[in-house]
Amino acid sequence: MKKAIIIGSGIGGIATALRLRSMNYDVTVFENNDFPGGKLTSFDLGPYRFDAGPSLLTMPHFIDELFDLFNENPRDHFNYKKKDISCKYFWDDGTKLSAYSDKIKFTKEIENILGVKQSIVSAYLLKAKKKYELTKRMFLEQSLHKLKTYFTKDLLNGVFNIFSFQINKTLNQVNASELKEPHLVQLFNRFATYNGSSPYKTPGMMTLVQHLEQEYGTFVSDKGMQNITNSLYNLALRQGVDFKFNNYVSEILVSNKIATGIKVGDKTYESDIVISNMDVVPTYRNLLKNHYQPEKILNQERSSSALIFYWGVKKEFKNLDLHNIFFSKDYKTEFQTIFENNTISVDPTIYINITSKDVKGDAPINCENWFVMINSPNDSGQDWDNMIDQVKSNVIKKINKILKVNIEDFIECEKVYTPKTIESNTQSYMGSLYGSSSNNLMSAFLRHPNFSNKILNLYFCGGSVHPGGGIPLCLLSAKIVSQLINNK
């Protein structure tokens, strides 16, 4: 049986372990922490439970696929339900809008609240769908860095329709020209944050992200996001994957330009293949110090990060749902502040995730667990401790204005994550949530490939490499890696 070593047990690492196990590899996963999951973990604050990291579940069929590999029924281990309302949106001027998962209800809501005809929104979403269908095989399901990818019917079809991708415009320019109404433009601009980018820089092709959420919907796991990690980790254990926690990998061993194993402390472990689920930057800087460094890729602009307040709130808010957005009055200034001034706007957009709306036991009766996230720059040496109090004050002021409440009177416990905390907990370079940003026309091609073209038998998965960050893309990176290994 061939051996595979995976460095890191983030969702991409666990998914890769499962796919290689289904290919009859003897798989060992080395993890620096004493728990699996990377960013996809949880913690308790008194009687409140919080998902520490990703809070949005989309395209859960990618998770089900991993159970299918072993002929197990995913419903025996991992269950979820589709949300009727994907997100509730709030603006300072009193405008409120519910984004229904049903397309007709959603476009009707937009027409009723914002006065934009259903036909205009439907045409916009149809165009976004076309972009996705033309590009998914090339950009999401295969390696962009293998020549054979470019000699396929999918690529030729994509090239033929290249002008429909709107790559010569920014996402904001596309939204402003096609939708016009300011609230709606801001709502659809928001999807740039799904890969840690600015809607004023990321290409118009990114409208396909709206299509994914609208077409497939958003879901809630019946035991919270942590159950994604738990169910897949337990599946891996049942299938014989070996996890070694509290094991810090200090080096990837290379002989004659072939990866041969890893070093942990004074011990070495041999392997036929090595896969890094670590952020690609520390993988090279720390584990491959004496080898070629792809500087152009490693020095790309990093994605945004987040400042997160986890609050136990001793009150229920019937007008809020699982996902809620309180928009900034000046979105452009907010993103300039993040990407150009490396700080947080005085009027930030606020995302509030409340899993207790759907997951029983996440908060006491008549209480809620608030995950309050603000987009922030990555960590480049800012004084985060000094920044927390000012940001918190601005956040509370905005929440109080929109909800007409004194929220500070109901916060009974708090934990705060800064970009520095995120980097410390997950080894994400500079605390960026999605690796490199997509503030560039060529960003998809500049992401690190899922393999090394300098070191044989070395592969990469997770959010810092192709195809990108977020749970679905991390799971797809695992699929691409397994295909590369199977076809080598």
Within a domain: 126? yes
Instruction: Indicate whether 323 and 416 sit together in one domain.
Output: yes
Phi, psi of 396 (to 5 degrees): -60, -40
Domain match, 344 and 257 both: no
Instruction: Say what the pLDDT of residue 96 is.
Output: 98
Of 217, 235, 250, the domain-final residue:
217
pLDDT recorded at residue 203? 87
Domain limit, last residue, from 192, 217, 242: 217
Q: Is residue 173 included in any domain, yes or no?
A: yes
First to last CA, the chain: 17
Same domain? For 118 and 211 the reply is: yes
Q: Which of 186, 217, 248 is the last residue in one of the domains?
A: 217
Do 290 and 373 belong to one domain?
no
Provide the domain count of the chain: 3
Quote the pLDDT of residue 447. 84
Q: What is residue 164's DSSP assignment?
A: G
Give ∠ CA 274-275-280 in degrees, rounded to 5. 125
Would you state the pLDDT for residue 140? 61
379-406 pLDDT per residue, tens: 999 999 999 999 999 999 999 999 999 9
Position 48 in a domain: no
Residue 50 maps to a domain: no
Same domain, 212 and 185: yes
Weakly modelled stretches of the chain, pLDDT under 50: 144-147, 149-151, 156, 159-160, 162-163
What ranges make up the beta strands (E) of 247-319?
249-255, 258-264, 267-270, 273-276, 305-313
Report pLDDT for 153: 56
For 156, the domain range is 84-217
Q: Per the domain annotation, does 49 fall within a domain?
A: no
Rounded CA separation 69/37 (Å): 20
Same domain, 266 and 345: no
377-387: burial string, b at 16+ Cβ within 10 Å, e else? bbbeebebeee
Q: Rounded to whole angstroms, how far apart are CA atoms 296 and 290?
A: 17
- Whether residue 192 is found in the same domain as residue 245: no
Q: What single DSSP character describes residue 433?
A: S
Same domain, 330 and 279: no
Give the DSSP H or E segment for 183: helix 182-189
Residues 119, 172 share a domain: yes
Q: Are residues 308 and 290 in the same domain?
A: no
Is residue 129 located within the same domain as residue 26? no
| Domain match, 385 and 465 both | no
Please report the pLDDT score of residue 468 as a whole number: 86
Please check whether residue 134 lies inside any domain of the structure.
Answer: yes
236 domain residue, yes or no: yes
In a domain, 230, yes or no: yes
Phi and psi at residue 385, to the nearest 5°: -60, -40
Task: Give the pLDDT score at 145.
Answer: 47
How many CA within 13 A on the CB side of residue 361? 4
User: What are 37-84's pLDDT values in tens digits?
Assistant: 999 999 999 999 999 999 999 999 999 999 999 999 999 999 999 999
